[in-house]
Amino acid sequence: MITAAMIPKQERLTFYPSTTKQFRFLKRTIHRFSELYLKGYYRKGGRYWQFLTLSNGGRFAYPVMEAPVTFYDPNHDTWHAFSQEAAGICIWLVTLRTCATVALERDHFVEMDNFSHYHSRLMEYANEHVEWDSIAHFITSIH
């Protein structure tokens, strides 16, 4: 069983830079997808994010929002409700896949491997999550 642990406050500033050299792109993409999919994400000026590391070497974050977190998929005009953690898993899976694709298109193969590594580790964790069926439905519906 893969476990998640919140990172200490003193490590928050290094979370994104320790994930990838392209940390500004990663962070910007996370916030853009959050704004697109999370109902009310920017209405109140964004959100505080809780950062976590996984026992399998992965990492992700989730927005601290009132649960359930409501997702809207504009491509299919569908709504989904998730816990905060499951919402973060969804946003990060979509973001990591997108970042890996962009890195490949730019011939940044090391970064592509890095994003793919974190995507695989998070997918392993998501597969064990109590909300896996909903997570899988959402991430496959946005292709």
Domain that holds residue 134: 4-9+32-141
The reported pLDDT for the residue numbered 143 is 62
The count of domains in the chain is 1
User: Is pLDDT at 113 greater than 80 in this prediction?
Assistant: yes
Query: Does residue 16 sit within a domain?
Result: no
Query: What does the pLDDT look like over 28-64, one tens digit per residue?
Result: 999 999 988 988 787 555 678 999 999 999 999 999 9
- Angle among Cα 143, 52, 44 to the nearest 5 degrees reads 70
pTM of the model: 0.92
Backbone conformation region of residue 86, classed left if phi is above 0, alpha if psi is from -120 to 50, else beta:
alpha
Average pLDDT over residues 113-142: 94
Closest CA to 124 of 65, 75, 26, 55: 55
Query: Does residue 87 sit within a domain?
Result: yes
Average pLDDT over residues 76-95: 93
d(CA 71, CA 90): 10
User: What percentage of the chain reaches a pLDDT higher than 70?
Assistant: 96
Query: Does residue 64 sit within a domain?
Result: yes
The reported pLDDT for the residue numbered 125 is 99
Query: Does residue 19 sit within a domain?
Result: no
87: domain CATH number? 3.30.70.3580
